[in-house]
Amino acid sequence: MDNDHAQGPADAPLTLLEYGDYQCPSTGRAFGVVERLQLHFAERLRFVFRHFPMVDQHPRAMPAALLAEAAADAGSFWGMHALLLSHQNSLEDPDLSRYAEQFGLPGTGGTRVHYERVDADLAAGRAAGVTRTPAFFVNGVPHEGGFDFGSLVTAIEQAAVQATEKAVEKG
């Protein structure tokens, strides 16, 4: 999608897409795993994060996602992303206001544009069959295994082999 938050080369042969929820403890645990994967695969991996706030279970996930989008407008999405995931137990309005101040933001988000971005991610996730967070996709294929480092390394390496095989077949 055009508004995707991505790290790594646009032409990387491997893409790891995560649908996450800032208040979800499992998404929080996956954060460190994703950082390790980025170091492990380096320039071969592009990481994409999409919002999937599960508001019925995590009522503070949507306000956090809106703040992340406000930070994105200021070019600070990834810094806010890291802050929110490392402070999942502090996502009340006063906390979010403090984080916005730390990043020099005029507010905590919540504009129509921010809602539209989060809603677009939610719609894409639902269309892809996402029902829980974190949900990972490796080169567009849903990852059905665990989200520990070993499971994701195996899935990404398998995707690399498949991509190489397809390239050989074409060429």
pLDDT tens-digit map of 21-65 = 999 999 999 999 999 999 999 999 999 999 999 999 999 999 999
User: Where in the chain are the domains?
Assistant: 19-170
Lowest mean pLDDT among 13-22, 76-85, 120-129, 157-166: 157-166
Q: pTM for this one? A: 0.94
Report the candidate in 19, 126, 1 with the shortest Cα–Cα distance to residue 65. 19
The token pair that represents 109 in the structure block: 């988000």
CA separation for the pair 168, 69 (Å, rounded)? 40
Confidence (pLDDT) at 171: 65
Report percent pLDDT > 90 for the chain.
Answer: 87
Write out pLDDT tens, residues 58-98: 999 999 999 999 999 999 999 999 999 999 999 999 999 99
Choices 3.40.50.300, 3.30.420.40, 3.30.43.10, 3.40.30.10: CATH for 19-170: 3.40.30.10
